Structure formats: structure tokens, C-alpha cells
Amino acid sequence: MKEFVKSITSPYEKELIETRRYLHRHPELSFQETDTAAYIRSTLNALGVPLMEGISGTSTVAVIKGEKTGPCIAFRTDIDALPVEEENDLPFKSEVPGVMHACGHDIHTAVLLTFAKVLTAHPELVRGTVKLIFQAAEEKLPGGAKALCEEGAMKDVDLIYGFHCASAFPLGTIAVTPRAYSAAIGIYEVKIHGKGGHGGYPQNALNPVPVACMVGSALNQILAEKKNPLEGGVLTVSYINGGQYPNIITDTVTLGGNVRTLNNDLIDKVFDSIHSISRGICAGFGLTCDVTTTLGYPAAINVPEEIETVRSVTRDLGYTVYERPDALGGEDFAYYLLEKPGAYFQIGMADPERPITSSPHHNCHFQLDERGISEALEMELGLYLRVTGQM
């Protein structure tokens, strides 16, 4: 496989880097990727690749159909940047003040655009249908994936794959997670209403501060009762706000935080408990409260069989498999995996001559080794050839 894939992808290496650098110079924030979308669509139009109708906003779905029968395989990339001022001294440094591709989505997009060029140049490789999903707004709730699923982007798809470049792993490393790539993320807030008064006469007030402390302590016990101890998850009370002076009992106190679990069913149960516990404790002391809970992204649950496919292709391409443990980050690729089977994995792109911790994601100094970009293109083509029975 390695020699064949290299022979197909190596002619595109220079163009791949140029595309990435163009995108890096022109980053756009989530839901504002107008010029990026125009660039993507212009490139696809020049290749003669049809675009799926009915897709709103700045997301784009390209559809490549082959003359030979086969499955419908989807590949997804995210196209948005972050509100970060770049401080790297690079010839392709961001030209947009306060905005930077500080997570590598420029790399993801360049790889998928180049993959489209590979497939259109080699129509004999296309079996069935390939959907190329250029998704807006991975970095900002509610994300772009949910809307794409609602608009039918996953219709007729049999399998979906995606990757994220990683500064935590060196070149030549493909990191896979057999089950949960990322966690279901929830946000909650409890606003407790009491009755303000003088600190010297607490009997004339309803003090929400100690009640808020009790609510926070009780919420911390929810996962101990609701979660399977063998599964990952966390509930954090991140803030308690209310009151300013030692002799004034405040009217209200607000507390809140986040919930992360590797079980999409569990987070709904946690939300129910947050509501019932908060209201119950407040009622016991004659106070009331308003509780809001918001689901961010669901957990991205990989299909073990598809992760095994990623492992197999990694080895056949001569790269190293790293077994990445479950993680509690967030990723809206989860919405696609709720619809169809697939896998999401990481491709190591840390420069071996730079300390890995010197350029973390979402940082103004974020950098990756561009040699890893061609490895990502090889992985996408290798995966496609494997799942379509060509290698």
C-alpha cells in the first residue's frame, strides 16, 4: 500500500503546503468563514466537483460519484479559526489581526481539498460515492455539524472518517481511541434567590450564600451515584458569585460549571439531578432558584471496527499506532457518529526538534511540522482504498 499511495499523493505535496499556507494567512472565526467557503467552493468548482444543495451558511459538502459501484464514504474537515493573535515569526503568518488558525483547521482543510484533487485526477479510484464535508464552526457552540446532519449531509453515507492534527504526538504517529474520542459536554447554572438584609439581623433575611455552598457540595456528589465507576466523567463547580460586603446579606447567588461524560445517556440524568437537587435544597430553606442546563457537544463514540481499520492502514503506510486513552475534550464530529459508524483519530505533527509542549493547540505560538500534512493526505487515501476494497 505505501508505495502505491506515495506514488499518488507525492505530486501534490508542494501544492498541499501552498494551500495550507494560504488558509493560514487568511483565518476566519466560527460562523464567519465567508472567504474561506468561497475559496473552497471555487476550488471544487474548478475541479468540476458538484456541491450538495440545501447546505446553509459557510459549510460546504462536495459529492464525487464514481462509475464503479461501491459504498458512500464521507470525510470531514473543520474550517474555522480562533480569536488568537498570532505571535509566530512565519512568512505565512496570519494577516488578520486577532484571528489565527491556532488549532490546525487550515491543515485539515488543505488536506481535504487536496484529496478532492487526487480523486478527480484518478477517477479509477472512486468506487461508489465520496462526500467531502467542509464544516464551519467546530470551535463555537452549537457548532456546524449538528446543522449539517439536520440538512441531510449524512444521508446515504455508509462510513465517515475525520482526523485532527496533534502537537502532542511526533511525526509518523497516528493516535487512535477505540471508544470515546471526546466527551459529552454540558454547562449548568443555578441562580438562587433569597432575601437580602443586614448582616447583624440574619433572622430578617433569607441568606442564599450558605445555601449555595450546600448546593455546590451536593452537585459534586452526583457522578458518584449516577456514573459507572469504570467510565470517565467529571462535574465541576467552577464559580460562585454573589455578595460584596461583610455586613450585607445579598439577595442572590449564582453558581455554575460544566459536566463531561463519556456516556451520552448519562449527561441527561446528570442534568435532571442538577435540577432536582438544587430546587430541593433551596426549598428546604425557603428559597427558590432558576436552573439552566445546556448540552454542548455529545460524546464522539468511535466504532471499534473502524478504529481497527485506521490501525491497519497506519501500519501498512509505515507509521506508528499510539493507543490514546479516552479524553474529556469536546468535538462536534460526535453528531456524525450518532448518525453513522465511523472513526475520528489524531495525526501527530510535532516537530521532533521542538519540545512538544512549546506549541500547544489554541496558543499564540501554535506550530506544527508541515511534513505531517502529506502524511495526513496519505492516511485519507489509504483509508479510502482500504474500505472500498482496493488495498
Q: What is the DSSP string of 150-167?
A: HTTTTTT--EEEEEEEEE
Do residues 176 and 72 share a domain? yes
Q: Assess contact for 257 and 239: CB atoms under 8 A.
A: yes
- Residue pair 22/91 in contact by the 8 Å Cβ criterion: no
Whether residues 303 and 258 fall in one domain:
no
What tens digit of pLDDT does each residue of 84-142 get? Answer: 999 999 999 999 999 999 999 999 999 999 999 999 999 999 999 999 999 999 999 99
Residue ending a domain, choose from 257, 274, 295: 295
Q: Which residue has the cell 501544492?
A: 15
Beta strands in 155-202 (DSSP E): 159-170, 173-176, 180-182, 184-193, 197-198
Query: Percent of the chain scored above 70 by pLDDT?
Result: 99
**What DSSP character marks residue 357?**
G
Cβ burial, residue 14 (10 Å; 0-12/13-18/19+): exposed
101 and 233 in a single domain? The answer is no
If asked whether residues 59 and 91 sit together in one domain, one would say yes
Residues 73 and 130 in one domain: yes
Number of independent structural domains in the chain: 2
Same domain (yes/no): 65, 177? yes
Q: Output the domain CATH number for residue 317.
A: 3.40.630.10
**188 and 264 share one domain:** yes
φ/ψ (deg, to 5) at 120: -70, -30
What confidence score (pLDDT) does residue 356 get? 57
41 and 150 co-located in one domain: yes
Q: Which residues span the domain enclosing 284?
A: 184-295
As a whole-number percent, the residues of the chain with pLDDT over 90 amount to 94
Task: Give catalytic residue positions.
Answer: 80, 138
- pTM, to two decimals: 0.92
Closest among 176, 163, 25 to 88, alpha carbons compared: 25
* pLDDT tens digit sequence for 218-238: 999 999 999 988 888 999 999
Whether residue 353 has pLDDT greater than 80:
no
CA proximity to 82, closest of 103, 106, 60: 103
CA distances from 187 to 77, 213, 238, 290, 293 (A): 26, 18, 10, 14, 6
